[in-house]
């Protein structure tokens, strides 16, 4: 009865983020979770699930870490909150900023704080536009992102997001955002014979006029768009392209950061340093809201030099002391427990598991992963690339078949591709990984039978 009451109240009073409103009004919440421990989540009915996507790709150190609760408690008892406007400061934000500087690629030594990924990306857009304005180039406002990119849901971040569903929801987008075709390495290197040259970042810069372009933003690995890993040399080519035209390169490391791809940051897999780097999610493993924009020290120095007025950008919760204290402890756990190395090592197990699925089931193909960020696609026939009809809702059905077997995965549908994403907490063991793949194989076998494949 208590469960029924909660469901009714949820239906009546709670508008869920990124969800089916109709389904919710009909059925109420799909799950009510009450507890988390390690890679497991338990719902109100006492059923336990493997959290195969680290919830929203963010619970990197796993659920139920008392150290993080303790860090929050200690900071809350001492000084839960103070702002850092007007250069007021406090130790957690100072220590975290130093720590991040020591970890981040190259000379990304300065941090500005937000409460999440969308705010970080919006901040980066405003920072580069402000820079160009101060530099005497006020028309340099255009931001180029990629198709399939996900950068969040604030107005700016949605406008940069290259997923038509999110853009359509907004109805009116912010001006000066453009999407280029993803991963056209040769085109970015200047190869005009590439059939997609015009739609590439380079082609888009040429079309817009480089003097009007403020920045290019890319995810090192595209996540929400379907787990797409760039080909070798792509990110370096984008870096070189930005240098060639004097345009800023922003990377969105909201998912990739803090060990997800087997290195501390996604950029560490490739040899480049962005001008600005947006982070969130794994910075606190989701225990509390925090995001940041890290920038080159030289970028900050130039802003200082050019800014005579106040720096008019700040959130009430920029550099929240409790969030910073939790982030510091979370990073300490990642380092002490060698979770980046574990992500790399278990990433190899994940890769083996994905290869097994691909070899065993004719409707599974295009498996890919980097560290503990992976996915596979569903086809009527993977060998020929023959696809399912959208009405089959195949990715959702596959994820549901896993959920029925107590494994949470994430279905992603984009332009006729049906992807199942898998990204377990970085603490996962080989045994747990094997268990996860046993469940997927069992679900796949059942689906194969059901579909008569
Ligand atoms: N950027 C990327 C790459 C993301 O995956 C996300 C969230 O999934 C965001 C930005 C938005 O972050 P938030 O939801 O914290 O605003």
pLDDT-based confidence at residue 153 (cuts at 50, 70, 90): very high
Of the three residues 336, 354, 385, the one that is the final residue of a domain is 336
Of the three residues 287, 316, 336, the one that is the final residue of a domain is 336
The reply to whether 11 falls in a domain is no
**pLDDT of 93 above 90:** yes
Domain that holds residue 352: 31-61+338-451
382 and 246 in a common domain: no
CA distance 80 to 367: 45
pLDDT-based confidence at residue 453 (cuts at 50, 70, 90): confident
The reply to whether 260 falls in a domain is yes
For 337-429, where are the alpha helices, taking DSSP H only?
Answer: 339-360, 394-404
216 and 115 in a common domain: yes
Neighbours of 445 (CB within 10 A): 13
431 and 365 in a common domain: yes
**Ligand 1 centroid from CA 139, angstroms:** 28
Mean of pLDDT values over 279-308: 98
Q: What is the CATH number of the domain that holds 382?
A: 3.90.1150.10
Q: Which two tokens stand for residue 400?
A: 């549901």
Mapped onto helix, strand or coil, the DSSP state of residue 318 is coil
Mapped onto helix, strand or coil, the DSSP state of residue 302 is helix
Does the beta carbon of 377 sit less than 6 angstroms from any atom of ligand 1? no
**Ligand 1 centroid from CA 250, angstroms:** 14
Does the beta carbon of 282 sit less than 6 angstroms from any atom of ligand 1? no
* Ligand 1 atom 13 nearest Cα: 117
Substitution site in 18, 118, 258, 373 for ligand 1 pocket (most atoms within 8 Å of beta carbon):
118
Helix (H) or strand (E) holding 389: none
The reply to whether 3 falls in a domain is no
Does the beta carbon of 122 sit less than 6 angstroms from any atom of ligand 1? no
183 and 168 in a common domain: yes
CA distance 251 to 221: 10
Does the beta carbon of 266 sit less than 6 angstroms from any atom of ligand 1? no
Sign of CA dihedral 16, 18, 22, 24: negative
Mean of pLDDT values over 47-58: 98
**Which DSSP string do the residues of 250-299 spell out, in sequence order?**
EEE-TTTTTTTTSSSSGGGGTT---SEEEE-GGGTTTSS--EEEEEEHHH
159 and 53 in a common domain: no
CA distance 225 to 222: 6
Helix (H) or strand (E) holding 58: none
Q: Half-sphere exposure (CA, 13 Å, Cβ side) for 37?
A: 5
**Ligand 1 centroid from CA 77, angstroms:** 30
pLDDT given at position 411: 98
Does the beta carbon of 118 sit less than 6 angstroms from any atom of ligand 1? yes
266 and 386 in a common domain: no
**Ligand 1 centroid from CA 58, angstroms:** 10
114 and 46 in a common domain: no
CA distance 371 to 422: 11
CA distance 50 to 32: 15
The per-residue pLDDT for range 173-221, each reduced to its tens digit, is 999 999 999 999 999 999 999 999 999 999 999 999 999 999 999 999 9
**pLDDT of 22 above 90:** yes
The reply to whether 86 falls in a domain is yes
**Ligand 1 centroid from CA 281, angstroms:** 8
Q: Which two tokens stand for residue 235?
A: 């990110």
Per the confidence metrics, is the pTM higher than 0.90? Answer: yes
The reply to whether 107 falls in a domain is yes
The reply to whether 172 falls in a domain is yes
140 and 160 in a common domain: yes
CA distance 25 to 431: 39
CA angle 91-92-93, nearest 5°? 95
Q: What is the CATH number of the domain that holds 133?
A: 3.40.640.10
Q: Can you give the C-alpha Rg of the chain in angstroms?
A: 22
Mean of pLDDT values over 88-100: 98
pLDDT given at position 1: 80
**Ligand 1 centroid from CA 118, angstroms:** 6
**pLDDT of 363 above 90:** yes
Does the beta carbon of 218 sit less than 6 angstroms from any atom of ligand 1? no
Of the three residues 282, 313, 336, the one that is the final residue of a domain is 336
CA distance 88 to 81: 12
**Mean confidence (pLDDT) of the chain:** 98
Helix (H) or strand (E) holding 372: none
350 and 304 in a common domain: no
Q: Which two tokens stand for residue 138?
A: 């006020």
230 and 173 in a common domain: yes
Do 90 and 318 contact (CB within 8 A), yes or no?
Answer: no
Q: In the chain, what percentage of residues exceed pLDDT 90?
A: 99
The per-residue pLDDT for range 96-141, each reduced to its tens digit, is 999 999 999 999 999 999 999 999 999 999 999 999 999 999 999 9
274 and 345 in a common domain: no
Q: How many domains, in total, are found in the chain?
A: 2
The per-residue pLDDT for range 226-270, each reduced to its tens digit, is 999 999 999 999 999 999 999 999 999 999 999 999 999 999 999
Do 267 and 255 contact (CB within 8 A), yes or no?
Answer: no
254 and 382 in a common domain: no
The reply to whether 14 falls in a domain is no
**Ligand 1 centroid from CA 277, angstroms:** 13
pLDDT given at position 224: 98
Does the beta carbon of 219 sit less than 6 angstroms from any atom of ligand 1? yes
The reply to whether 22 falls in a domain is no
């Amino acid at each position: 009865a208590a469960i029924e009451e909660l469901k009714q109240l949820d239906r009546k009073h709670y508008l869920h983020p990124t969800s089916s409103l109709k389904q919710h009004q009909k059925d109420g919440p799909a799950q009510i979770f009450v507890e988390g421990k390690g890679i497991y989540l338990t719902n109100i009915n006492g059923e336990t699930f493997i959290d195969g996507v680290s919830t929203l790709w963010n619970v990197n150190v796993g659920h139920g870490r008392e150290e993080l609760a303790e860090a929050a408690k200690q900071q809350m008892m001492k000084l839960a909150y103070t702002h850092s406007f007007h250069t007021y400061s406090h130790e957690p934000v100072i220590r975290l900023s130093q720590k991040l500087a020591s970890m981040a690629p190259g000379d990304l030594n300065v941090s500005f704080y937000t409460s999440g990924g969308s705010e970080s990306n919006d901040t980066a857009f405003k920072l580069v536009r402000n820079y160009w304005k101060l530099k005497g180039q006020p028309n340099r406002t255009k931001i180029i992102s990629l198709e399939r990119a996900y950068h969040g849901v604030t107005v700016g971040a949605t406008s940069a997001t290259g997923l038509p569903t999110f853009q359509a929801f907004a109805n009116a987008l912010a001006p000066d955002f453009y999407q280029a075709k993803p991963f056209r390495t040769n085109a970015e290197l200047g190869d005009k014979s590439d059939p997609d040259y015009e739609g590439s970042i380079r082609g888009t810069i040429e079309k817009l006029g480089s003097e009007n372009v403020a920045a290019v933003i890319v995810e090192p690995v595209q996540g929400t768009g379907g787990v797409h890993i760039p080909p070798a040399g792509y990110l370096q080519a984008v870096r070189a392209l930005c240098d060639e035209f004097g345009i800023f390169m922003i990377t969105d490391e909201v998912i990739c950061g803090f060990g997800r791809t087997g290195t501390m940051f996604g950029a560490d897999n490739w040899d480049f340093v962005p001008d600005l780097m947006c982070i969130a999610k794994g910075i606190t493993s989701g225990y509390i809201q925090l995001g940041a924009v890290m920038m080159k020290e030289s970028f900050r120095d130039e802003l200082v030099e050019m800014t005579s007025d106040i720096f008019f950008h700040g959130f009430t919760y920029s550099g929240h002391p409790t969030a910073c204290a939790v982030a510091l402890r979370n990073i300490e756990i990642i380092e002490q427990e060698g979770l980046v190395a574990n992500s790399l090592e278990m990433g190899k197990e994940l890769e083996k598991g994905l290869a097994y699925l691909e070899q065993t089931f004719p409707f599974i193909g295009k498996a890919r992963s980097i560290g503990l960020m992976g996915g596979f696609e569903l086809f009527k026939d993977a060998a020929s690339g023959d696809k399912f009809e959208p009405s089959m809702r195949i990715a959702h059905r596959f994820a549901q078949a896993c959920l029925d077997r107590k494994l949470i995965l994430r279905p992603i549908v984009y332009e006729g591709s049906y992807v199942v994403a898998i990204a377990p907490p970085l603490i996962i063991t080989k045994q747990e990984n094997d268990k996860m793949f046993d469940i997927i194989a069992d679900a796949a076998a059942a689906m194969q039978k059901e579909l008569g494949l």
